[in-house]
Amino acid sequence: MTNFIPYGRQWIDEGDIQAVIEVLRSDWLTTGPKVDEFEQAVANAVGSQYGVAVSSGTAALHTAMYAIDIKRGDEVIVPTMTFAATANAVVFQGGTPVFSDVEEKMLLIDISQIEKKITSRTKAIIAVDYAGQPCDYDELKKITDKHKLTLIADACHALGATYKGHKVGSLAELNIFSFHPVKHITTGEGGMVTTENPEYARRMKMFRNHCMNSDYRQREEKGNWFYEVVDLGYNYRITDFQCALGISQFKKLPRRIKRRQEIAAVYNEAFARNEFIIPLSVNPEITHAYHLYIVRLKLDNIKKSKQQIFTDLRNAGIGVNVHYIPVHLHSYYRKKFNASEGMFPVSEKAFYEILSLPIFPDMSDEDVQRVVSETTKAVGGA
């Protein structure tokens, strides 16, 4: 097969490689100075006080659940149109994810349905900036303030995006990022939580290191051996060479976002008059980070099934994907939380219709044109 275009892909340059090598030659491979430097770089840039870097976006979500002390019986409202890790993190701490549907234009959590899900056990809402488009944080905040809940942003798709001029990473009380290779910047595996709250930051730094009340570097510096395990924590540490890669990658974020936006603009233009494809809507008050470029297929007008369109595009070398299978439809959630089809009709219909088209910063203009022409052909257009 000629030249397969994946849906997403990292971009590593020589500067990134040199940054990693430098750390490999240094004294600190983990829990060293690059971790602090990476945390400060990201927190400063997004306008937040603290950054806590961990070993994955999933670990970051789990760590945020620990920060707000989620326990057995606690409920956290989560949209079903997300990656399973958003809901899993609640379950890791013994809590119950309460699923919510999304609205149909942007596939963001349907704010009008949130209040009827709130009970005396509700502790937090996790908003997901699906595809890279920030949710309506002003409206979400009204609800969390009124009911004294914590607002959390799963911003794994939205590093570099803004809402009403404010940067993602400073919009919720806890903001979660992932540095998996398909995301905007990568550390191989990695994640971070940003927050303004010093107590949350302290708890999270402890949690990623077995809930020990001092780390190895602090003990070395003080010349003592004493530490205490004060709660149940995990090893969610990220290495210094990963953080060096993260620092180097993060410097290029604005350029990379700009390129993603350019590619999205070409797709928007190309599909604007296509009777078989509808791109997702964009709120004019935000800037979009385009982790994903999602289209809905008007399957009623198309002679092929979605599976056939998917297979035809894959055979043409276009790495289309589907983000996501609504979380409540996974067998684990069906069994454990009594979830079933029909509970969240907007998400379920969207799941049936959506396709993610390739979008990543070093896609060439020819690649973008190839995706446009193959997609147009696959749905039965010109």
Binding mask 127-146 for ligand PLP (x = CB under 6 A): -x------------------
- Residue number with CB closer to ligand PLP (289 or 302): 289
Minimum CB distance to ligand PLP, residue 86 (Å):
5
Out of 86, 122, 186, 287, which residue is the one contacting ligand PLP (CB under 6 A)? 86
- Cα 377 to Cα 361: distance, rounded to the nearest angstrom: 24
Binding mask 55-74 for ligand PLP (x = CB under 6 A): -xxx----------------
Minimum CB distance to ligand PLP, residue 332 (Å):
16
- The piece of 53-61, 71-79, 133-141, 213-221 that touches ligand PLP (CB under 6 A) is 53-61
- Cα 233 to Cα 235: distance, rounded to the nearest angstrom: 7
Minimum CB distance to ligand PLP, residue 258 (Å):
21
Query: Taking CB under 6 A as the rule, does residue 250 contact ligand PLP?
Result: no
Catalytic option among 34, 123, 167, 183:
183
9, 155, 286, 303 from 184: Cα distances, Å: 9, 11, 17, 36
Closest residue to ligand PLP using C-beta atoms: 57
Query: Taking CB under 6 A as the rule, does residue 82 contact ligand PLP?
Result: yes
Query: Taking CB under 6 A as the rule, does residue 156 contact ligand PLP?
Result: yes
Neighbour tally for 53: CB within 10 Å: 31
- Cα 32 to Cα 3: distance, rounded to the nearest angstrom: 41
Minimum CB distance to ligand PLP, residue 355 (Å):
17
Out of 10, 96, 144, 178, which residue is the one contacting ligand PLP (CB under 6 A)? 178
- Cα 154 to Cα 172: distance, rounded to the nearest angstrom: 9
> Which sign does the torsion angle of CA 354, 359, 363, 365 carry?
positive
Please give the biggest Cα pair distance in the chain.
73
Give yes or no: 183 in active site: yes
For 63-98, give one letter per residue: b (16+ CB within 10 A) or e: bbbbbbebeeebbbbbbbbbbbbbbbbbbbbebbbb
- Cα 135 to Cα 153: distance, rounded to the nearest angstrom: 9
Query: Taking CB under 6 A as the rule, does residue 192 contact ligand PLP?
Result: no
If you search the block for the tokens 């708890």, which residue do you land on? 203
Query: Taking CB under 6 A as the rule, does residue 83 contact ligand PLP?
Result: yes
If you search the block for the tokens 């051996």, which residue do you land on? 225
The helix-helix angle for 84-92 and 57-67 (nearest 10°) equals 40
- The piece of 44-52, 83-91, 221-229, 253-261 that touches ligand PLP (CB under 6 A) is 83-91
- The piece of 40-48, 118-126, 152-160, 300-308 that touches ligand PLP (CB under 6 A) is 152-160
- Cα 248 to Cα 19: distance, rounded to the nearest angstrom: 7
- Residue number with CB closer to ligand PLP (23 or 128): 128
Could you tell me the strand order of the sheet in which 286-287 lies?
A: 166-167, 162-163, 286-287
- Number of amino acids touching ligand PLP (CB under 6 A): 14
- The piece of 46-54, 78-86, 195-203, 309-317 that touches ligand PLP (CB under 6 A) is 78-86
Residues assigned a catalytic role: 183
Q: Where on the chain is the footprint of ligand PLP (CB under 6 A)?
A: 56-58, 82-83, 85-86, 128, 154, 156-157, 178, 180, 191
